[in-house]
Structure 1
Amino acid sequence: MKIVYNILGTFNSGGMERVLANKANYFVAQGLEVAIVTTDQQGRSPYFPLNEAIQLHDLDINYTENNQHGLWKKIISYQRKQKQHKQLLTSLLQDLKADIVISMFDNDASFLYRIQDGSKKVLEIHFSRFKRLQYGRKGLWKIIDRLRSWQDVSIAKRYDRFVVLTEEDKQYWGNLPNIVVIPNANSFVPNCQADVKAKRAIAVGRYDYQKGFDELIALWRKIYEQKPDWKLDIFGHGPLKNKLQSQINQLGLADVIRLCSPVWDIEKEYCQSGLLVMTSRYEGLPMTLLEAQTYGLPMVAYACKCGPRDIIRDGENGFLVEEHNQEMMVARLIQLMENENLRWEMGRKAKEMSTDFTEAKVMRKWLDLFNQLTP
């Protein structure tokens, strides 16, 4: 069986890229052929290691060039790139002769299902149904976001299977006959245990609007007033790094909050932390929660759409906090900081519950799906 994935690039250190690398490596190890098609790789190496047997193809479309343009120029350029993308991808897929071709709901999603190459088409989404509306943009952008959100449903219907990450998100898409729930897998095999005695909180994610680190930094000022001996390390990179650092400096928190570059051995950082905090405005199924609980790390997260509710049982392996309720977020964090026994017990429960997302369980669901599509 031959599987082809489509994604903008594999050079980022994000959760979607990690999930793709894990799946591709796993399927190759199971004897499947796997190819990854990118549009914006630009010669950069994959951030996460990929098995040498995985075929890599870049179409050199470079959608990210549009980011520097204004609205109208961006629209015109995007249409031109879409046409080029469809032509090049059609030609490549006809050569590859795959059994299943997968879109990760990137720039190919709007036309991949129309390509007649003999393969079954699968669409998978790594965010929530409402991802386009989370930014709360105004004016013409608001209209565009709402239009594209409506189009997402129309597109999803056209694929042989549409895979979402959570039962919660499935409800938001309506009664689609082709929808399937398959969560992300956690591929980490823990070789250490979180040190819940450590007075260090950890957060992980890209420095962008989605992750809500601006809100985390703002509320940490209140944490600092009561727990000045606790540190916060935020691992990631992204366009808002300088803005976030300025916010840290302005609040006088430079001694307790660090913006840390991504690391290969993030598990080491989990094991040196006392708790994990997540303030995302939206998610799909956050890898940082899946990973952290494997190491027995208690978690505090906003109950955003979607994902945290599928991982955290409030009061058992962590705390769920109403979105943007900074007062409650501060209260829950301080509650954990003041109670080492509670951190230990929640961490123990988190490690126990992490078995629901093992690689073997999740990949079995993917293999079953592939077999259903290609009997």
Structure 2
Amino acid sequence: MTFVNVGRFSFQKGQDILLAAFSELRKKRSNVMLKIVGYGDGEAALRAEIDRRGLKDAVSLEHHPENPQPALSASDVYVSTSRWEGWSLAICEALRFGLPVVATDCEFGPSDILVDSRLGMLVPVDRREELVNAMIYYCDNLRTEQVHANFRREFIDCYSPERVLELHARALRSAAAA
């Protein structure tokens, strides 16, 4: 089973939180893998943390700054461990691929997107045990959760630029007619 995280390698994105939780998860589910996809000044620190935790065989850092699709399509569950966030395009992309999402319930962003349990789970930013438990849930229930992949794709499609443009155009036509 493969978890994936996409974002800048930075304190804000909380990959250190993810590595701490993933280290705990590996003690309980040794067959899991993690892809951290992105770029940034924090790469050296992430590599050092991966080494320090003995996770080199289970965690890969990948660079897909223009297109995270290869990593998303080869993964099972998306994990976002941001300390703070806006509207998360990475979460939206993961849902577009039908992936369930585990996200920290930081102020703004993830809680605005994950409004239905079929989309994923929110966990407190500062509760590693709850993050680990959410990841264990998906390890143990992935087949059941894959049933919701089309729901995730259809849900996030309502935020596509085409759909949003159509809604705005309809509103403008309605206002002009009045």
TM-score, with length taken from structure 1: 0.44
From 322, 336, 343, the counterpart of 2:124: 322
How far the C-alpha of 1:263 sits from its partner, in A, is 4.7
Q: How far apart are the structure 2 equivalents of 1:234 and 1:290?
A: 17
Q: How far apart are the structure 1 equivalents of 2:19 and 2:90?
A: 18
The sequence identity of aligned pairs, in percent, is: 28
How far the C-alpha of 1:306 sits from its partner, in A, is 1.0
Aligned residue-pair number? 174
Q: How far apart are the structure 1 equivalents of 2:107 and 2:58?
A: 29
Partner residue, 1:241: 43
- Which SS does the other structure have where 1:320 is aligned? strand
Q: How far apart are the structure 1 equivalents of 2:125 and 2:73?
A: 27
Partner residue, 2:54: 252
Compared with structure 1, are the counterparts of its residues 368 and 282 closer, same or farther at alpha carbon in structure 2 (3 Å cutoff)?
A: farther
Compared with structure 1, are the counterparts of its residues 213 and 370 closer, same or farther at alpha carbon in structure 2 (3 Å cutoff)?
A: farther
Q: How far apart are the structure 1 equivalents of 2:144 and 2:125?
A: 23
Structure exhibiting the larger radius of gyration computed from Cα positions: 1
In the alignment, structure 1 segments of 5+ residues that lack a partner are 1-198
How far the C-alpha of 1:359 sits from its partner, in A, is 1.3
How far the C-alpha of 1:363 sits from its partner, in A, is 3.1
From 277, 280, 283, the counterpart of 2:79: 277
Q: How far apart are the structure 2 equivalents of 1:357 and 1:244?
A: 32
Q: How do residues 97-246 of structure 1 correspond to structure 2 at under 5 angstroms? A: 199-246=1-48
Task: Tell me if structure 2 keeps the 8 A contact 1:285–1:306.
Answer: yes
- Which SS does the other structure have where 2:34 is aligned? strand
1:109-150 deviation digits (Å, cap 9, x = unpaired): xxxxxxxxxxxxxxxxxxxxxxxxxxxxxxxxxxxxxxxxxx
Cα RMSD after superposing both structures: 2.1
In the alignment, structure 2 segments of 5+ residues that lack a partner are none
How far the C-alpha of 1:255 sits from its partner, in A, is 0.7
TM-score, with length taken from structure 2: 0.89
How far the C-alpha of 1:276 sits from its partner, in A, is 0.2
| Structure with bigger RCO (C-alpha 8 Å, 6+ apart) | 2
Task: Tell me if structure 1 keeps the 8 A contact 2:35–2:71.
Answer: no
User: Is 1:343 aligned with 2:145?
Assistant: yes
Q: What one-letter code is carried by the residue in structure 1 that aligns with 2:74? A: Q
- Which SS does the other structure have where 1:313 is aligned? coil
Task: Tell me if structure 1 keeps the 8 A contact 2:85–2:106.
Answer: yes
- Which SS does the other structure have where 2:136 is aligned? helix
